[in-house]
A and B are shown apart, each in its own frame.
Chain A
Amino acid sequence: MHALLEMRDISKHFTGVRALSGVDLTVEPGEIHALVGENGAGKSTLMKVLSGVHPHGSYEGAILFDGEERRFRDINDSEALGIIIIHQELALIPLMSIAENIFLTDPPSRFGVIDRSAVHRRAKELLAKVGLDEAPDTLVTNIGVGKQQLVEIAKALSKKVRLLILDEPTASLSEKDSAALLELLLEFKAQGIASILISHKLNEVSKVADRITVLRDGRTVDTMDCTAGAVEEDRIIRSMVDRDLEHRYPKRDPKVGDTIFRVRDWSVFHPLHADRQMIRKVDFEVKRGEIVGIAGLMGAGRTEFAMSIFGRSYGRKISGHAEIEGREVDLSTVRRAVDAGLAYVTEDRKQLGLLLADDIRKNITLANLSAVASSNVIDDVKELRVAADYRGRMRIRSHSVYQEAGKLSGGNQQKVVLSKWLFTDPKVLILDEPTRGIDVGAKYEIYCIINELADAGKGVIVISSEMPELIGICDRICVMNEGGFVGEFPGAEATQEKIMRAIMRQAVMPQADVRQVDMRKGERP
């Protein structure tokens, strides 16, 4: 008997970046197979290859399903075979009912007219199967995230599902909802439905998975069998993280001075749900010439924290104090934050950082146009000099400063964004995922720039999901989870295991314990 799914030697490149190289993945019938790895290890890309989002021809390697080679052109091809993927961001239409969502693509109908009683009846059956006690007419927007997740699964069950892929299904669920969901997976297993579970929460992975495959830097590093006995979390963490940190980070001799930027009692609430606190009264500081890393998983509140500081660009009901060079500063608008000496390089440079249709020159001067203008008229020669200067200093590879930003590679785009902020002459820089989607060579160059900035006496804050990167370049690493800081390590002492443990230890704790951690942190001198 052959495996249900076999992915052989899958490789996938994006322009200039190797996302997957030679990945193997085998799923047996009726198995729960967990896929773990750091952010950016290639889990989502692998699942996109499997589901046909990246069609046959855009990757190398072979996909075998039921022992036959399959060439999916799009997601419909894979769904026809019963491979159903449920993404982390739910694909439900909020203002439609549960029943309408379940049968969105293929409602039961007679002569093209939707059979509403059949929709209702079958939706009810499916909801019973997933254990969701809601009327099928309820609008999706009126039920919580946990129940929406169940609706997604019911939707998958409405099709002939044989392999269910869940991408971080419990990331936004409460403890109780997560447990119910995992229970459901075990039930499906009993019915012969196999699933691939992508999760950061190792405790739940080891609870339900039959086998665990670990991805790292786009490669399969290990596949562990759990049927013989539980696999230790330590072993999983050890294979998730990469040890070889030599030569990937430029050497630096840190000269850390006095505090340049300090935030006290910083609280932020969700922009839409006013009672949801995203940042819980945190304290944070950076010293002159220091590179501070903020580690954490997606959704830990790192970007929210940074953006709320930078001109209240995220959230509402923001409270707290901020000081630059010992003086209280007003950071209530982006302009004020910039004038106070703050710069923020966004996580998403295409959506939030660049004018993609405009050239390098216009992008570089955008945040500080007054410096290249006299009485509001732009001096084009001066502007050009500035742009050409940065293009040379940052080694932005382009045929001239007139090249469209959208046509540059990721690394060069990032250098343009960095140039834009350096031109505002900031005292403190916040770099959010500065090397995401950038190839190794360009990463090294970005690290060199970061080092130069610190050596020039600026305070640098680096937010990154790649722990080796933080360990490689930071003088101090703060670990964030659920809107608070849950650990802090000097760069030299930090290891990925310590960071992971700080996160994981806290991730399994109920709400009451979170407060304890915060209190303990407050007591520390």
Chain B
Amino acid sequence: MSDAALKEKPSHAGFLKNNLREYGMMLSLFAIMIFFEVVTNGTLLRPLNLTNLVLQNSYIVIMALGMLLVIVTGHIDLSVGSVAGFVGAVAAVLIVKLGVPWVPATLLCLALGGAIGAAQGYWVAYFKIPSFIVTLAGMLVFKGLALAILAGQSVGPFPPAFQKLSSGFIPELFADAGTLYPTSFAIGALLALALVWQNFRSRARQESHGIETEPYGFFLAKNLALFAVIAYFAYLIASHRGLPNVLVIMTVLVALYAFMTTRTVIGRQIYAVGGNEKAAKLSGIKTERLTFLTFVNMGVLAALAGLIFAARLNTATPKAGLGFELDVIAACFIGGASAYGGVGRVGGAVIGALIMGVMNNGMSILGIGIDYQQVIKGLVLLGAVCLDVYNQKRA
């Protein structure tokens, strides 16, 4: 009677097939990078351009982390672009016009972002108003408020210390090392080593408890590639001006959210809410509160992104943040998140954001107009999601 359940046995080919979805995204990113590297005659991976690529996309990546959680719980947040713009405007008014020192101003702005997220999450979580509507309203409200407090004008420039948030680089410990920034390279190489070591350790631990692991050859190749790629990018970044501050912030956040989603109780519960809200509720999970918290979290990250963007432009403009929400949402869906909730990975969202970023950057280098760039990005989004749905159906 349960032959069907007994029949399935893991095999190497089966493993690859099952995990194609997971690695497919990463392979697509590499393919796109190599494609643009070739057609731009090597401009894409030039140290200067690579650094720019990081700076240009950091705020999308950061917001994608929050958006992923919102999407995993089965909701959406359309207001993030406006919130980022609004918080940037508040920061400009506080720092430039009122002369508040940048540290308290930054903290105040992050708290403001959290409060905005709470205000929206409250209606979604406790009043069951569709998040699409609540955040559509929020999008209009905060776009308008940004315009109002800036009185329709750009406000800037920011003090140099604040600008460092986005355009600064980590200090070099060994001066006069020629063209390479050794500290940055060392950090990158250490990070790569740490990741590989971590992977080996967890594999050993799993094996000692008889947990099913991926085939060894595959595992080895994967880690070798991981190490090589990180070390190479560290080298490229280190040969321009070293690690940008914002890359450090971004990396720490990505690591934090990856850990939170996969290893912690709250992460597991968030996925349960998105996977089957009723079942989660009947298992004693406080579904409303978790939904509320994902919106608060989204608000804080949108505020951080707004601050970084303002620091990068060195001015707050009423148009800042326009359309960010679309890039952020697209990044999550390209990265394999499900619009029905319950499915999505931090790594996927980051890769999705990078795919969008590389395409923007590569197409700009090629001189493709903003018009066709959007057409191509739209088609890539549709294609990626179709492929994902197809893969799921086949499985």
Residues of A at the B interface (CB closer than 8 Å) are 15-16, 310-311, 313, 333-335, 337-338, 344, 346, 351-358, 362, 366-367, 369-370, 373, 376-378, 380-381, 384-385, 397-400, 402-403, 407-409, 411-412, 420, 439, 441-442
Instruction: List 20 extra interface pairs beyond A362-B268, A366-B268, CB under 8 A.
Output: A16-B2, A333-B284, A351-B278, A351-B279, A352-B276, A352-B282, A354-B276, A354-B279, A355-B275, A356-B276, A367-B283, A369-B269, A370-B265, A378-B264, A384-B211, A397-B6, A399-B9, A403-B5, A439-B1, A442-B1
Chain A residues, Cβ within 8 Å of B393: none
Q: Quick one: given A16-B2, A358-B271, are A344 and B278 in contact (CB under 8 Å)?
A: no
Chain A residues, Cβ within 8 Å of B206: 381
Pairs A-B, 3 closest by C-beta atoms: A367-B283, A355-B275, A397-B2
Give me 21 A-to-B residue pairs in the complex whose CB atoms sit less than 8 angstroms apart, sorted by A's number.
A15-B4, A16-B1, A16-B2, A311-B284, A313-B281, A333-B286, A337-B284, A355-B275, A355-B279, A357-B275, A357-B342, A358-B275, A373-B265, A378-B264, A378-B265, A397-B2, A397-B6, A398-B5, A399-B5, A400-B10, A442-B2
Does A335 contact B284, Cβ atoms closer than 8 Å? yes
Q: Mark B252-283, 1 if CB is under 8 A from A, else 0.
A: 00000000000111101101100110111111
Q: Which residue of B lies closest to A442 (CB)?
A: B1
Q: Which residue of A lies closest to B269 (CB)?
A: A369
Chain A residues, Cβ within 8 Å of B201: none
Chain B residues, Cβ within 8 Å of A357: 275, 342-343
Q: Quick one: given A352-B278, A355-B275, A384-B209, are A399 and B284 in contact (CB under 8 Å)?
A: no
Chain A nearest CB: distance from B381 CB in Å? 23
Whether B8 is near chain A, meaning CB under 8 Å from some CB there, is yes
Which of B2, B266, B281, B284 is close to A412, meaning CB atoms less than 8 Å apart?
Answer: B2
Chain B nearest CB: distance from A57 CB in Å? 21
Q: Mark B1-32, 1 if CB is under 8 A from A, else 0.
A: 11011101110000000000000000000000
Chain B residues, Cβ within 8 Å of A380: 263
* Complex alpha-carbon distance, A399 and B14, angstroms: 13
Whether B176 is near chain A, meaning CB under 8 Å from some CB there, is no
Q: Which residue of A lies closest to B278 (CB)?
A: A352
Does A377 contact B286, Cβ atoms closer than 8 Å? no
Whether B205 is near chain A, meaning CB under 8 Å from some CB there, is yes
Does B281 contact A397, Cβ atoms closer than 8 Å? no
Chain B residues, Cβ within 8 Å of A337: 284
Which of B9, B205, B283 is close to A334, meaning CB atoms less than 8 Å apart?
Answer: B283
Chain B residues, Cβ within 8 Å of A439: 1
Does B282 contact A310, Cβ atoms closer than 8 Å? yes
Q: Which residue of B lies closest to A381 (CB)?
A: B209
Whether B371 is near chain A, meaning CB under 8 Å from some CB there, is no
Q: Quick one: given A16-B1, A352-B282, are A399 and B264 in contact (CB under 8 Å)?
A: no
Does A381 contact B265, Cβ atoms closer than 8 Å? no
Chain A residues, Cβ within 8 Å of B343: 357
Chain A residues, Cβ within 8 Å of B284: 311, 333-335, 337-338, 367
Q: Quick one: given A353-B279, A357-B343, A409-B1, are A399 and B8 in contact (CB under 8 Å)?
A: yes
* Complex alpha-carbon distance, A373 and B5, angstroms: 30
Does B282 contact A397, Cβ atoms closer than 8 Å? no
Chain A residues, Cβ within 8 Å of B280: 355, 366
Chain B residues, Cβ within 8 Å of A384: 209, 211
Q: Which residue of A lies closest to B341 (CB)?
A: A357
Does B263 contact A378, Cβ atoms closer than 8 Å? yes
Does A397 contact B283, Cβ atoms closer than 8 Å? no
* Complex alpha-carbon distance, A407 and B10, angstroms: 15
Chain B nearest CB: distance from A37 CB in Å? 24
Does B5 contact A397, Cβ atoms closer than 8 Å? yes
Which of A311, A399, A411 is close to B6, meaning CB atoms less than 8 Å apart?
Answer: A399
Number of A-B contacts (CB under 8 A): 112
Does A334 contact B263, Cβ atoms closer than 8 Å? no
* Complex alpha-carbon distance, A355 and B341, angstroms: 12
Q: Which residue of B lies closest to A400 (CB)?
A: B212
* Complex alpha-carbon distance, A454 and B176, angstroms: 78
Q: Which residue of B lies closest to A395 (CB)?
A: B2
* Complex alpha-carbon distance, A174 and B329, angstroms: 52
Chain B nearest CB: distance from A343 CB in Å? 10
Chain B residues, Cβ within 8 Å of A376: 264-266
Chain B residues, Cβ within 8 Å of A378: 263-265, 268
Chain A residues, Cβ within 8 Å of B275: 355-358
Does B276 contact A420, Cβ atoms closer than 8 Å? no
* Complex alpha-carbon distance, A441 and B3, angstroms: 13
Q: Quick one: given A355-B272, A369-B269, are A408 and B205 in contact (CB under 8 Å)?
A: no
Does A353 contact B2, Cβ atoms closer than 8 Å? no
Q: Quick one: given A397-B5, A408-B5, A409-B1, are A313 and B266 in contact (CB under 8 Å)?
A: no
* Complex alpha-carbon distance, A394 and B285, angstroms: 25
Does A352 contact B279, Cβ atoms closer than 8 Å? yes
Chain B residues, Cβ within 8 Å of A409: 1-2, 4-5
Q: Which residue of A lies closest to B7 (CB)?
A: A399
Chain B residues, Cβ within 8 Å of A400: 10, 212
Chain A nearest CB: distance from B363 CB in Å? 35
Chain A residues, Cβ within 8 Å of B342: 355, 357-358
Chain A residues, Cβ within 8 Å of B8: 399, 403
Does A335 contact B209, Cβ atoms closer than 8 Å? no
Which of B1, B4, B266 is close to A441, meaning CB atoms less than 8 Å apart?
Answer: B1
* Complex alpha-carbon distance, A358 and B281, angstroms: 16
* Complex alpha-carbon distance, A420 and B272, angstroms: 14
Q: Quick one: given A352-B282, A354-B279, A381-B205, are A402 and B2 in contact (CB under 8 Å)?
A: no
Which of B1, B10, B212, B272 is close to A366, meaning CB atoms less than 8 Å apart?
Answer: B272
* Complex alpha-carbon distance, A354 and B2, angstroms: 19
Chain A nearest CB: distance from B258 CB in Å? 13
User: Of residues B272, B283, B343, which shows the largest number of chain A Cβ atoms within 10 Å of its Cβ?
Assistant: B283
* Complex alpha-carbon distance, A402 and B210, angstroms: 13
* Complex alpha-carbon distance, A354 and B285, angstroms: 13
Chain A nearest CB: distance from B341 CB in Å? 10
Chain B nearest CB: distance from A13 CB in Å? 12
Q: Which residue of A lies closest to B4 (CB)?
A: A409
Which of B9, B209, B282 is close to A313, meaning CB atoms less than 8 Å apart?
Answer: B282
Chain A nearest CB: distance from B13 CB in Å? 15
Chain A residues, Cβ within 8 Å of B282: 310-311, 313, 334, 344, 346, 352-353
Does B265 contact A366, Cβ atoms closer than 8 Å? no
Q: Which residue of A lies closest to B211 (CB)?
A: A384
Chain A residues, Cβ within 8 Å of B10: 399-400
* Complex alpha-carbon distance, A310 and B269, angstroms: 20
Chain B nearest CB: distance from A182 CB in Å? 37
Chain B nearest CB: distance from A194 CB in Å? 39
Q: Which residue of B lies closest to A17 (CB)?
A: B1
* Complex alpha-carbon distance, A477 and B283, angstroms: 27
Q: Which residue of A lies closest to B10 (CB)?
A: A399
* Complex alpha-carbon distance, A207 and B276, angstroms: 45
Q: Which residue of A lies closest to B205 (CB)?
A: A381
Chain B nearest CB: distance from A371 CB in Å? 10
Chain B residues, Cβ within 8 Å of A398: 5
Chain B residues, Cβ within 8 Å of A407: 5
* Complex alpha-carbon distance, A411 and B343, angstroms: 26
Chain A residues, Cβ within 8 Å of B286: 333, 335
* Complex alpha-carbon distance, A17 and B279, angstroms: 25
* Complex alpha-carbon distance, A23 and B265, angstroms: 51
Q: Which B125-175 residues have a C-beta within 8 angstroms of A? A: none
Chain B nearest CB: distance from A421 CB in Å? 9
Chain A nearest CB: distance from B273 CB in Å? 10
Q: Mark B333-349, 1 if CB is under 8 A from A, else 0.
A: 00000000011000000
* Complex alpha-carbon distance, A358 and B272, angstroms: 9
Chain B residues, Cβ within 8 Å of A355: 271-272, 275-276, 279-280, 342
Does A377 contact B4, Cβ atoms closer than 8 Å? no
